[in-house]
Amino acid sequence: MTDQSAGEGISADVDIGGRRKALIEFWHYFSVNKGAVLGLAVFVLLVLVAIFAPLIAPHAPNEQYRDALLTPPSWHADGRPEFLLGTDAVGRDMLSRLIFGARYSLFIGFVVVVFALFSGIILGVLAGYFRGWVDTLIMRVMDVILAFPSLLLALVLVAILGPGLFNAMLAIAVVLQPHFARLTRAAVMAEKNREYVISAKVAGAGHLRLMLVTILPNCLAPLIVQATLSFSNAILEAAALGFLGMGAQPPTPEWGTMLAAAREFILRAPWVVTYPGLAILITVLAINLMGDGLRDALDPKLKRS
Contact positions vs another protein (CB under 8 A): 3, 6-7, 10-11, 13-14, 194-196, 198-206, 209, 214, 217-218, 300-301, 303, 305
Q: How far is CA 195 from CA 84, 192, 199, 219, 225, in A?
A: 61, 8, 6, 16, 26
Helix axes 94-130, 220-243, angle to 10 degrees: 130
Q: Which is nearer to another protein, 161 or 225 (CB)?
A: 225
Q: Which is nearer to another protein, 147 or 203 (CB)?
A: 203
CB of 20 vs another protein, minimal distance in Å? 14
Q: Which is nearer to another protein, 93 or 191 (CB)?
A: 191
CB of 199 vs another protein, minimal distance in Å? 5
Q: Which is nearer to another protein, 10 or 152 (CB)?
A: 10
CB of 136 vs another protein, minimal distance in Å? 15
CB of 217 vs another protein, minimal distance in Å? 5
Helices (H), 52-131: 53-56, 94-130
Q: Which is nearer to another protein, 4 or 162 (CB)?
A: 4
Strand-pair partners of 87: 93
d(CA 221, CA 231): 16
Torsion-angle region of 86 (φ positive above 0: left; ψ -120 to 50: alpha; else: beta): left
Q: Which is nearer to another protein, 137 or 198 (CB)?
A: 198
d(CA 193, CA 19): 31
Torsion-angle region of 258 (φ positive above 0: left; ψ -120 to 50: alpha; else: beta): alpha
CB of 250 vs another protein, minimal distance in Å? 48
SS3 label, residue 92: coil
CA-nearest of 196, 228, 234, 239 to 215 is 196
Q: Which is nearer to another protein, 15 or 67 (CB)?
A: 15
Q: Which is nearer to another protein, 26 or 196 (CB)?
A: 196
Task: Give the CA count within 13 Å in the CB-facing half-sphere of 156.
Answer: 9
Q: What is the 3 state secondary structure string of 116-174?
A: HHHHHHHHHHHHHHHCHHHHHHHHHHHHHHHHCCHHHHHHHHHHHHCCCHHHHHHHHHH
CB of 204 vs another protein, minimal distance in Å? 5
CB of 16 vs another protein, minimal distance in Å? 13
CB of 25 vs another protein, minimal distance in Å? 10
